[in-house]
Amino acid sequence: MKSKITIPKIQKMKAGGEKIATITCYDFSFAKIVDQSGIEIILVGDSLGMVIQGEPNTLPVTIDQMIYHSACVARGLTVPHLVTDMPFMSYQTSLKDALQNAGRLMKKGRAESIKIEGGVEVAELIYRMNRLGIPVMGHIGLQPQSIHKYGGYKIRGKTFEEEKTLLEDARAIEEAGAWGVVLEGVPREVAEKITKRLKIPTIGIGSGPECDGQVLVLYDLLGLDPEFQPRFVKRYANLFETVSQALNQYKKEVKEKSFPANEHSFRKNLIDAKDKFHTRNALPRAKGANG
C-alpha cells in the first residue's frame, strides 16, 4: 500500500524538482479512483457550486455543503493530501467565524488543509490559523470569489502594477505560514517569477508549466461538459460521449426487453447464502496517516 502524502512530502517535492499533481473531487466514487492514481493532492473545490450544483459561480456555496462533500471524498481516500476550500463569507466576517468554520471542515469534513482566496488582506488570518494547527493553502491571481469586484473571470498580472501586487501577495502568504499557494489565471512569466521567489510550492491553473504543480477541475479533464473548453483545460477523456452512449444503449435494451437478462435476475430456487444483493465498502486508511 502507498504511504500517505503529507505537507512535508509535498514541500520536499518542490525542493527536489518533482512536479505536484492536484485534482478537484467532490464525491466518494471519484475519490476512490483518484486515490489509486498517484495524484498527490485532492482539492474539494468550491467549484462544486458550478459543476455539481449548476450555479453560475462559486458564491452561493455554503460551509455545510463543503463539509458534506469533503466528508464524502475523505471516505474514499487513503493516500492523497485532502485540501478543502473555505467558501465565500465563511472566513471574511471575523477571525472567530473563520476559525470555527475551518475547525468544522477539519473535524466533520476530515479536511487535512483548508484553502482560502486572497493575498496581503488574509495574511493575518493565515498566520493565526497556522499557529493554531490549521494548515492553510493560499489562492491568488484570478480569485473566483471576487468575480464581481474584478468584473468577471480575468487573467491577473498583466500590468506592471498587478504583477507587483501578486508578488507582494505571494510573499505575504508565505511569510504568514501558508504551506502552498494556488496561482490561478496568471501569465506564465509572472507565475514563473513567483514560483522562483517562494520556498513554498505553487500549484497553477492556467498559469503555465513553470509552477511547481498543476491543478484542474476533474470534470473538465474528463470532458463531462462539451460546451466548456477554455484554453487552459486539456481534455484527457470524453466522458460526455462515453456516458451518453452507455445511457442510450441501456435505454434501448430496457425498451427491447433484453435487460435485465437471466444473469441479472435472482431465481427463487437458486439463491444461496453468498448471493448478497450488493455490498460496498469504504477504503481502509493508508499507513502513515494519522487522520
Residues catalogued as catalytic: 184
- Residue 205, interface with ligand KIV (CB under 6 A)? yes
Determine the Cα angle at 206 with ends 203 and 210, to 5°.
55
- Minimum CB distance to ligand KIV, residue 176 (Å): 19
- Minimum CB distance to ligand KIV, residue 273 (Å): 46
- Minimum CB distance to ligand KIV, residue 85 (Å): 5
Maximum CA pair distance of the chain? 78
Binding ligand KIV (rule: CB under 6 A), the pick from 35, 40, 85, 220 is 85
Part in contact with ligand KIV (CB under 6 A); list of ranges 41-49, 172-180, 229-237, 271-279: 41-49
Part in contact with ligand KIV (CB under 6 A); list of ranges 44-52, 171-179, 188-196, 283-291: 44-52
**Cα(115)–Cα(138) distance, rounded to whole angstroms?**
6
Binding ligand KIV (rule: CB under 6 A), the pick from 83, 123, 167, 215 is 215
Binding ligand KIV (rule: CB under 6 A), the pick from 10, 41, 178, 217 is 217
- Residue 76, interface with ligand KIV (CB under 6 A)? no
CB atoms within 10 A of CB 119: 22
Q: DSSP 3-state assignment of 211?
A: coil
Binding ligand KIV (rule: CB under 6 A), the pick from 13, 24, 79, 204 is 24
Q: 116, 120, 119, 205: which is closest to 155 by C-alpha?
A: 205
Per-residue DSSP letter, 99: H
**Cα(179)–Cα(130) distance, rounded to whole angstroms?**
9
CB-nearer residue toward ligand KIV: 19 or 285: 19
**Cα(289)–Cα(33) distance, rounded to whole angstroms?**
19
Which residue's entry shows cell 483518484? Answer: 34
Helix ranges restricted to H, the chain: 7-16, 28-35, 48-51, 63-74, 95-107, 123-131, 147-150, 160-176, 188-197, 218-221, 239-255
Binding ligand KIV (rule: CB under 6 A), the pick from 31, 47, 82, 185 is 47
Part in contact with ligand KIV (CB under 6 A); list of ranges 42-50, 75-83, 94-102, 158-166: 42-50
What residues between 92 and 151 interact with ligand KIV by CB under 6 A? none
Part in contact with ligand KIV (CB under 6 A); list of ranges 40-48, 97-105, 128-136, 158-166: 40-48
- Residue 82, interface with ligand KIV (CB under 6 A)? no
Close Cβ partners of 12 (under 8 Å, ≥ 6 residues apart): none
Cα dihedral sign, 260-262-266-267:
positive
Binding ligand KIV (rule: CB under 6 A), the pick from 42, 45, 74, 173 is 45
Under the rule (CB under 6 A), what is the footprint of ligand KIV?
24, 43, 45-47, 85, 182, 184, 205, 215, 217
